Each structure stands twice: as structure tokens, then as C-alpha cells.
Structure 1
């Protein structure tokens, strides 16, 4: 019996233990359910946070790749130059993508036109929907302070493609004594300058006088003389010694200091003066009026024929020699018409004249050898003839008409790609 009672007691204890376990399990299950509910809310919160964060990051990542953005940037820059009527030979607009950080792009580079930079930032925002960190440098920079102008102080100077002088290899154009230049930046003894026709080039420091606007205004505050002959002496006194190695060239403009009989005293940039005969010049009340009056076609043709036989000179635009576009630009400027520097740029001016038969005296005639647009230009003088500066013979007259014998040029007749009417 004792054993039976013992077994029953054990059974009772076992039942109580099972009940306790079940009760414990029931309580733990409730806790588990409660914890599971809390964990579900926690997971939902984490998922929502990660989703929002991902969406925010996605908004910060540009839809285009760096390569695509760079290509689009170049496309916009080209379009802006075209809309402004400028080329890279007339305006610095060198901008590049230097990085992308959290949806912002950084632009670096430089430009000589504030308006192009401003419009570029607007276009980037509108067309690419991107924020821009602007590190584009506008020239001239603050390091030049107010010394952002210059006057040519020699009869003729060469402007190069870079801050080096290699004879005639890198010459892009020329400037005359007294020409006004806008200084954009300096490198050692060289200055990147912009001429009044907007053309860019590097000038050697010894060839120019760098100055501020006040000096410029004071220098030109008088009557001026336009050198109206092909070349003129420039002497230290009436009948004296030459001031420069070269003579003054047609188209030079200088302030008049005094006049004594047949001699006129002219101011030289940087100080000093020089004398030339009054017969060599025309007098104007101000510099602004020198190339203001426009003549008819006969005036342009007369000036052009003055230079028949003169040599061809790459980059030349003075009486010491002309390239084709320099010759045309010079003849037109003397008669009050202001052209751009190069043939392909001049082709964008005036009214189109599509055929040789439609040409009128004074029209510009253009020629194309390759696929890159006009590479040569001349002035039509009538009767199928035109005058131009050629690399082989200098300034000559040629014809589109075979009946004109030696003047006829079959090659140029074939290469004719259109005319432009500047004189109306």
C-alpha cells in the first residue's frame, strides 16, 4: 500500500508539474505573440525608413551618367556660342564637368563672357534638372585688378595661338600701333588679349602697354589721325630719324598732339610722340568716328586694288602682307564695314548670294576645298572678276570666266560655294 500511495503521490506531483509546464508555456506563448507583434512593427518601421532613404538617395543620383552629362554639357556650350554669334576664336568658353556629389555636379573652367556662364547654369538646371556647384572662372580675373586694357605700342605686332613666339608658325592675326586690346589673362611676359573684332591671341608684353580704363580714356581724349596711305614714316622729329624699325601702316589710328606745317605730331602709347606728314593722314574729331562712315562698293574696290601685287602673309592683315580674310576684312573696315576675322566666320555675315550670276560689285566670294566650310575669300569687282590674296601670288585678280584668259581660274570656279552681300 505504501508503494501504491507513493506512486499516486508521484502521479499527482507529475500532473501538477505538467499543469505548471502548460501554464508556463501558455504564458510564454502570449509573450511570444506580444514580442512577435512588436517585432513586426519594428520591421515595418525599418522597411519604411529604408524605403524613404532609398528614394531620397535616388533623387540625389543623376539619371544620366557622368559621360552622358559631359556630352550634354558640350552640346549646350556649342549651342550657346552659336546663339551668341561667337566662335572659340572670339570667345573663351572652356567648361568641363569635374565631379558629381549627391545629385550636384561641379563645373570648372573659364570664360570671357559672363552672359554665357549665366545662361549655361540656367540651361543645366532646366534641361538636366541638376544642381550646379559653379567654379567657372570669368575672365579677366581679379588678379589683374583694373589693368584689363592694353594699347599696341609698335607699328605692327603679331598675335599668337599661345604664349610662345615661333616665328610665323603660331601667328593667328596682327594688330597696329594704337589698337585697343582687352586683356583677359597674363602668363609670364605674355598676355591673352581680345581685339576689337573680338578675335583672340597672345601678345608679347614688350609690344603692348597694359593700362586701366582711365588711362585709355585720357589717351584718346583728342582729335585723331587715320593713316590713309599704304605706309608712312614715323619720325622722332620733322625730317628726323625713324622711331621704329617698321613704318606706320594704313589703318593705324593715333591721337594728334600738334600740327606744324606739313608735319603732324602723334601720341605714342606708353609715352612719347612721333611725326609724320599731314599728307599721310585724315583727321577725325574722335576715334569713334574713324571707321563709321560707309562708302559704296567702288570705295572698297579702290582700296583693294591699291594692294595688287602685295605679298601673302599667313595671319597678316596689314600693308606688310595679308592672308585672304585679313585682306577682305581690312578693305571693308577702311570703308566702314566691320567683318569678323576668318573666312568661315565672314561667311555667316551679310545676305547670301547663291550663284555667280547674282553677284554684284563689293560682294564677298567664298571658296571651299574640303568639307569644313569656306576656307578662302575674296571681293567681287564685277564682270566675273574678283580680287583676293593668294598664298602663291599675293594680291591678284582672277576670273570665273574662261574667256578672260590668264585671269580665269577653273579651280576656284569649281570651289565657289557662295557669296555674301555686305554692302546694301
Structure 2
């Protein structure tokens, strides 16, 4: 098995092997993947943590010996907090973005990927959700919408829910429709709790949007920009546009 690991802050994952191709997601520092196909300037990869596929440009990652594969599971990694962190290797410095998973092995300058890590790291769990979730809202609020984005400089709806949940130790799939297949249904809007995910569909019944509930009538989501809107049984109401912009399909709970 050929394994790669991202050694930059964030790199684009594309549909096809060209810079003009659609970006479907991003790969963050230390995220590992299997190289399925190799071409002159591009590789087709499968990300291990979310089983997501796409094309990466060569030069934006390094190879990792198979015997140095870093198993990331519950309890053996930390997450870069909103204050950020930095990775060092010789004279190279890499800024680490919030939501980046840092395997604990890397804190010991792991031989297969010997970066030193300094900065704000948190132990991912839901115990402190009530205090930490408002901080994440403040951090991501008004970030621009970017299809495939996973960072505060550009993020999409499912990237936002995914990165928020990463801070609390829960790995969600990449796309909204995939996330909607997980979790437990919340039957009534009055039973919604902060952190529940609300999903929205189009006229064909396909899930096309997701947001994180702040309370039982307020949602935090990415639509043009990361914003806070009111939500009811019909869907999301955009005050500036004076209309409903997304039709509610289902609400789910993940802890």
C-alpha cells in the first residue's frame, strides 16, 4: 500500500487531475491517505479517516512508509484549537489551522514524520461543549462560503459541521447527505439541543444542506457566508432576504 501524508497547512482535493477541476474537499496537515493511482503530476487518493476520494497535486504531500502509518482513533490525537498552532521541521514552518488532528505520536517527533508541534491543542471531547461551542461560533462566523472548504478562510456547509464536530472528537463523513445517514432522529423541534444537526433537501428530496443548531430555533450554517439564522418546521428563514432559503428535512443527534 502506498501511503501519503499532508505536510502543508491545507491542500485542495479535486474531482479531476487539473487545477481547473472542481475542489470537492481539502486535506489538512497530517491527514493520511492511500495513493490509488499515480500520474506525472497528480495522484488519485482515498482519505483514510472519511473514505473520501479525489486528486492531489504532487509536491503537496510526502510519502509515508507503510510501517509508519499513524493510526488515528479515539483518544490518540489532539485537535488544533482556535488559537492555532505551528509545525516545525528543520527550517520549515507550517501554520496549523483549527480543526487539524494531531496524532499524539507527532508530539514526540515521530520518525516517519518528524515535525515538532507548538501551539494551542485541545483534547477532543463533548464534556466542555457548552463553553467551547460559542467560541467556535465566534471564530467561524462570517467566514466566506467556499465549495469544498474546511477552514475559516473558506468553508462549505458540511465542512463546517464536520470541523465543528472534530473539535469534540466526533468524525463525520464529508458530505451533507452522508452525514444525514448517521445519528439518531430528533422527532420534535422542541426537543432540539445545541449541537444537533439539521438537514435540508431540494425539490427532488435530495439532502443538499446542513447546519448546527444553536438552540431549538436558531441555526449556525454556511450559506454565502457562515451565519446565524432562525429555523422552524418549514426551514431556514433568512431575515435579509425576507424568505425561507432551505427546506427542513430532518434533525439528528450524534451524542
More helix by share: 1
Give the Å deviation of 1:211: 2.7
Determine helix, strand or coil for the equivalent of 2:226: strand
Structure 2 residue 16 is matched with structure 1 residue 162: yes
1:92 paired residue number: none
CA RMSD of aligned residues (A): 3.2
Determine helix, strand or coil for the equivalent of 1:231: strand
- The answer to whether the 8 A contact 1:162-1:201 is kept is yes
The CA deviation string for residues 127-181 of structure 1, in whole angstroms up to 9 with x for no partner, is xxxxxxxxxxxxxxxxxxx4x2111111111111112222xx5111011111111
Instruction: After TM superposition, list the pairs within 5 Å mapping 1:354-365 onto structure 2.
Output: 354-365=187-198
| Count of aligned pairs between the two proteins | 243
1:150 paired residue number: 4
1:55 paired residue number: none
Query: In structure 1, how many angstroms separate the alpha carbons of the residues matched to 2:213 and 2:87?
Result: 34
Residues 236, 179 of structure 1: alpha-carbon distance in 2 compared, 3 angstrom cutoff:
closer
Residues 409, 173 of structure 1: alpha-carbon distance in 2 compared, 3 angstrom cutoff:
farther
Residues 233, 333 of structure 1: alpha-carbon distance in 2 compared, 3 angstrom cutoff:
closer
The CA deviation string for residues 174-222 of structure 1, in whole angstroms up to 9 with x for no partner, is 111111112222222222211211111111121111233213259xxxx
- The answer to whether the 8 A contact 2:196-2:213 is kept is yes
The CA deviation string for residues 348-377 of structure 1, in whole angstroms up to 9 with x for no partner, is 111223553442222111122331511111
Query: In structure 2, how many angstroms separate the alpha carbons of the residues matched to 1:210 and 1:372?
Result: 42
Residue of 380, 387, 409 corresponding to 2:220 = 387
Residue of 213, 219, 227 corresponding to 2:80 = 227
Query: In structure 2, how many angstroms separate the alpha carbons of the residues matched to 1:296 and 1:350?
Result: 20
Query: In structure 2, how many angstroms separate the alpha carbons of the residues matched to 1:376 and 1:193?
Result: 26
Give the Å deviation of 1:420: 1.1
Query: In structure 1, how many angstroms separate the alpha carbons of the residues matched to 2:238 and 2:10?
Result: 38
Give the Å deviation of 1:406: 3.9
Determine helix, strand or coil for the equivalent of 1:328: helix
Instruction: After TM superposition, list the pairs within 5 Å mapping 1:239-254 onto structure 2.
Output: 243-244=93-94, 247-252=95-100, 253=102
Query: In structure 2, how many angstroms separate the alpha carbons of the residues matched to 1:269 and 1:207?
Result: 17
Structure 2 residue 34 is matched with structure 1 residue 192: no
* Length-normalised TM-score, structure 2: 0.81
Instruction: After TM superposition, list the pairs within 5 Å mapping 1:267-416 onto structure 2.
Output: 273-274=115-116, 276-277=118-119, 280-282=120-122, 291=124, 293-295=125-127, 298=130, 301-302=133-134, 303-391=136-224, 394-400=225-231, 406=239, 410-412=243-245, 415-416=247-248
Give the Å deviation of 1:421: 1.5
Give the Å deviation of 1:242: 6.9
Give the Å deviation of 1:415: 1.0
More strand by share: 2
- The answer to whether the 8 A contact 1:295-1:336 is kept is no
The CA deviation string for residues 289-332 of structure 1, in whole angstroms up to 9 with x for no partner, is x65x4447536733344311222211011233210000001111
Give the Å deviation of 1:268: 9.6
- The answer to whether the 8 A contact 1:171-1:314 is kept is yes
* Length-normalised TM-score, structure 1: 0.51
Query: In structure 1, how many angstroms separate the alpha carbons of the residues matched to 2:169 and 2:84?
Result: 20
Q: Which runs of 5+ in 1 are unaligned?
A: 1-145, 258-265, 283-289
Query: In structure 2, how many angstroms separate the alpha carbons of the residues matched to 1:355 and 1:194?
Result: 37
Give the Å deviation of 1:230: 4.7
